[in-house]
Amino acid sequence: MVLNLGDKFPNFTADTTIGQIDFHKWAGDSWVVLFSHPADFTPVCTTELSAVARLVPEFAKRNVKPIALSCDSADSHTKWIDDIKAYGKLTEFNYPIIDDEKRELAVKLNMLDKDEIGAAGLPLTCRAVFIIDPHKKLRLSILYPATTGRNFTEILRTIDSMQLTDRSKVATPADWVQGQECMVQPSVKEEELASLFPGGVSSVELPSGKAYLRKTKL
């Protein structure tokens, strides 16, 4: 299944380290970051799961639940969590890991990497990230190869951007972080600026003479 941005994210049931879940029910009214891994007991994955555990309070502030997936059993995940905690000097591990030993979700969500073959001769999942909003809509998806660990601070930044742009008719520029100026969306008409942005809007002068680069601070 190829999922496009805006599609309803499919529901599924799965075994996880917190028992069996119905994904949509588990997500409830939260945003979800679903991120996949090639395999348990691998170095980059261990650093990633530890990084996310450390960021759980930041995800919670934004009403986001993280959930990981790896192509091994829930039993294996539970044993691996001890290593993840030790590596990250964590006292607890506070989000679930999905058991996808049979690759059912990996196939359904198109996450397999044909170039990464595991010990059992089966393809492994790449490092996929799906961000799903409380309406179960897919809002962002990225695929990284197995050899490149992800930057989860960047994932938080994209969530800040999506949550802000859901509330106001703005878009966030390159390297934007929360609190910085953002751009008025091109669809906003000049006559709407004062009511939508009472704090003011400044236009950047450009050689084209077109006033499309309009900045505002929210």
What is the contact surface with ligand BEZ in residues (CB under 6 A)?
A: 38-39, 42-45, 116, 146-147
Comparing CB distances to ligand BEZ, the nearer of 99 and 133 is: 99
CB of 149 to ligand BEZ, least distance (A): 8
Task: Name the token pair of 4.
Answer: 């496009």
CB atoms closer than 10 angstroms to residue 185: 13
Cα–Cα separations (whole angstroms), residue 174 to 144, 152, 158, 204, 209: 20, 17, 11, 16, 22
CB of 38 to ligand BEZ, least distance (A): 4
CB of 157 to ligand BEZ, least distance (A): 23
What torsion do the CA atoms of 71, 77, 82, 83 make, to the nearest 10 degrees? Answer: -10
Comparing CB distances to ligand BEZ, the nearer of 26 and 123 is: 123
* Rounded Cα gap, residues 156 and 79, in angstroms: 28
Q: Evaluate whether 131 touches 163 at the Cβ level (below 8 Å).
A: no
CB of 127 to ligand BEZ, least distance (A): 9
Comparing CB distances to ligand BEZ, the nearer of 15 and 113 is: 113
CB of 8 to ligand BEZ, least distance (A): 31
List of residues 6+ apart from 88 with CB closer than 8 A: 50, 51, 53, 54
Comparing CB distances to ligand BEZ, the nearer of 15 and 40 is: 40
Comparing CB distances to ligand BEZ, the nearer of 83 and 160 is: 83
